[in-house]
């Protein structure tokens, strides 16, 4: 089993319904959902990888447990209890490293601090990556700082290298993006830009390699 700490829209947020239907799966229930029509394209193929991870933005990347679920949950509850809810900047749909994703419209120090706390405070529960897992990250393509982060934290996009993103497609060619991005924007409508607050820390679990990630628990922020 792998565990991850994610941000995900609240269940009463329209973005949860619209984003889940675009991906074709509700990570809260595991239910398959009908996807919108995308003439000329296989939307199921375009969203396959993102669908497996579920609608989310990563706070602490997936890891295997070195301790126990109970111990991790206790520390995650403590982190959530000391974290005060905060406003999330309006989200915008954009191309990001070839993917289509929802990004922050402006940097949020509160969100960065929350993410940093998730990475550091729960790291004792993370089993070290295997040599094969490290090799798949292609450290030869990383900066020196990224290699140092990978060695210490098991992932290179953490702390100042991290960015908020909700991935909604695979990498697209420019021609594909010219069609898919307007369709996705129309599907989401005004939902990404609506005001929202971060009020939960979501624990996601993956039962086995290749299995879809599911919401195991939503921990309320109580600080």
56-68: per-residue pLDDT in tens?
A: 999 999 999 999 9
- Averaged pLDDT, 5-26: 98
- Averaged pLDDT, 69-80: 98
Q: Where are the alpha helices (DSSP H) in 83-153?
A: 109-121, 131-136, 144-153
The overall pTM is greater than 0.85: yes
Please report, for residues 8, 18, 123, the alpha-carbon distance to residue 196 in angstroms, rounded to integers and kept in the order given.
12, 15, 28
Which candidate, 58, 34, 59, 60, places its Cα nearest to that of 47?
A: 34
Q: Is the separation of the CB atoms in 41 and 180 below 8 Å?
A: yes
Q: Is the separation of the CB atoms in 169 and 58 below 8 Å?
A: no
> According to CATH, what is the number of the domain 2-108+163-220?
3.90.1140.10
Report the SS3 class of residue 215: strand
- pLDDT tens for 147-203 read 999 999 999 999 999 999 999 999 999 999 999 999 999 999 999 999 999 999 999
């Amino acid at each position: 089993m792998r565990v991850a700490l994610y941000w995900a829209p609240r269940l009463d947020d329209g973005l949860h319904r619209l984003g889940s239907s675009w991906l074709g799966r509700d990570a809260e229930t595991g239910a398959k959902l009908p996807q919108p029509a995308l003439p000329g394209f296989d939307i199921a193929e375009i969203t396959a990888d993102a669908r497996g991870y579920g609608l989310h933005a990563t706070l602490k990347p997936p890891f295997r447990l070195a301790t126990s679920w109970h111990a991790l949950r206790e520390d995650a509850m403590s982190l959530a209890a000391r974290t005060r809810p905060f406003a999330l900047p309006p989200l915008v749909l954009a191309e990001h490293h070839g993917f289509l994703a929802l990004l922050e419209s402006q940097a949020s120090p509160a969100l960065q601090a929350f993410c940093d706390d998730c990475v550091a405070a729960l790291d004792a529960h993370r089993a070290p990556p295997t040599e094969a897992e490290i090799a798949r990250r292609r450290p030869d393509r990383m900066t020196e700082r990224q290699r140092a982060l990978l060695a210490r934290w098991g992932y290179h996009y953490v702390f100042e290298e991290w960015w908020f993103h909700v991935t909604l497609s695979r990498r697209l060619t420019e021609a594909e993006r010219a069609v898919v991005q307007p369709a996705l924007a129309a599907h989401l409508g005004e939902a990404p830009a609506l005001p929202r607050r971060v009020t939960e820390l979501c624990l996601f679990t993956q039962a086995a390699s290749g299995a879809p990630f599911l919401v195991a628990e939503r921990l309320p922020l109580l600080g």
